[in-house]
Amino acid sequence: MGFFEDHMLRLYPSLFHIPITLAILVVSVSLYRLYFHPLAHIPGPPFACVSSLFLYAICYLGVEGRVLLYYHEKYCVSVLRIAPDAVSLSGDDTLHQVYVAGGGLPKDARYQNFRVEGHDTIFSALDQDYRNERAKAVLPLFAPSRIQNAYDSDEVTASLVRKFIARLQEERASPNSKVDILDLSSRLSIDFLTAYLFHQPYGGLDEPTQHQTSSPKAPSPPLKWANKLSATPFVLSIVSFSRFSLLPNWAFNAIFSSLVARVLSNDEVSTSMRTVSRYADAVLGADENGQGGRSRETYQSRLLAAGITREETLVQCKAVMFAGADSTAVMLATILFHLVRRPEARARLRAEIAENETAGGDPQALPYLRAVVREGLRLGMANPARLTRIFLPPGTKVGAAAYVFHHNRSVFPQPFAFQPERWLPSPEDSPSDVEARRVREQTAFPFGLGSRACLGRNLASFQLHVAVKEVVASGVLEGSRTCADRIELIEWFNAEIKGHELEIQWN
């Protein structure tokens, strides 16, 4: 027997022990997590209790909300274990404790995966002082009375809504044309937000679109996002990265580093990012050169006045453009989609608007309009996935998913149906009806909860009410139908409509 054979015989026993050792280790860890871990008493699917791979997978696939809802209903629990160190909540009594009481529980490290160009944003910051300094500087801009007054006195934002309706009417006038209401909603949302916050509209509603027809001979655009809002590839590249957001920071950074070059190699994405960067840079330049009008009242000038560097201010501007424009667009398109499919709801809303056409004032004061928007927010959801927090000292990650709460059958009967009436009080309401409505109001949180709720929620809500009111009052939706029977929502951290397209067509 030669040296090689002798050496291998000595090595074989060691090699044989490796899989046995690994098997013992895996079994031991699994048994500990199932039966002896501090969270072992909380019900949940065993495979999820053993490994975080389950949670990573449903996050990546964009089905987190619906899967968690299934297991909450299967186990009949309001606290569900979904990973070795994570739980999902579905009871409205837990929301206050997690997100409101004492300023809410701190955000977990997951939010560092949402940094933009190496900077923390108001949304992603874990350091409360860091976040407060920036939020305090811009918070006055989001006061409801200020938003209403700006709309009433500033022709720019009001003209954008009229331009949005004109685009719809233009499409309606063309026989058998289709219009992507998600794309048009994205254009309005980014223009409305930038006109109000930066005093300089992005210009999405002025960008051209290709006139689409139902003819099978119509040529398809050579590029995926040809004739769509120029900022869309920029927005969707950020949205898509959120599918990895539950990974540990080191794993996310490794994936991000490997994928970012591939993403930027796409001409449409790189062009979109340059376009957004040029716009943000021009906005800051206008203020710095004294061309920004009431410069102290802009988002960027308030940040600069608070001592935030120009580099970071650019990032904060891009972040608010992304956060506000995309989420608001998805919710506006969702509302319009359901109003097209429910002509009786559209007729009721149009009658309410006509009865109050001389009243003026805040559109959010119209009861049925408010109910329509609220129902759209319930189904649209800016963030359908869990808003995770860290529970100290054990270090458990806790979170409530809007998707789970907004589709709770005991709170919202027929949860997938668009029923604005569920939000309206009635003279015939019994005490139980009043209590049920109170629970509904406490259960829905389309913009988050507590001190870390969406900073721009008042601006988004106002835009939705104004846009829906004016669109319905114009009658432009009459005779229209949707090109799909339902909205297919992707439940990444930011809600996304599958294909980023939602078409309607006129008869």
Annotated binding site for heme: 454
Which token pair is 239? Answer: 């949205």
CA distance 87 to 98: 12
Given a contact cutoff of 8 angstroms between Cβ atoms, the answer to whether 236 and 500 are in contact is yes
CA distance 189 to 326: 7
Place of tokens 């062009």: 271
CA distance 127 to 106: 9
**How many angstroms separate the first and last alpha carbons of the chain?**
88
Which amino acid is present at 250?
Answer: W
Cβ-proximal residues to 437 (8 Å cutoff; 6+ apart), any chain: 423, 425, 429
Which token pair is 218? Answer: 């119509």
Given a contact cutoff of 8 angstroms between Cβ atoms, the answer to whether 162 and 191 are in contact is no
Phi and psi angles of residue 256, each rounded to the nearest 5 degrees, phi first: -60, -45
Which token pair is 43? Answer: 């019900």
Q: Which of 406, 415, 392, 327 is nearest to 95 (CA)?
A: 406
CA distance 326 to 144: 21
Instruction: Give me the sign of the Cα torsion angle 394, 400, 404, 410.
Output: positive
How far is residue 448 from each of residues 20, 95, 192, 385, 434, measured CA to CA in Å? Answer: 48, 10, 22, 11, 24
CA distance 110 to 104: 16
Q: Where are the alpha helices (H) located in 62-154, listed in sequence order?
A: 64-75, 92-95, 128-138, 144-153
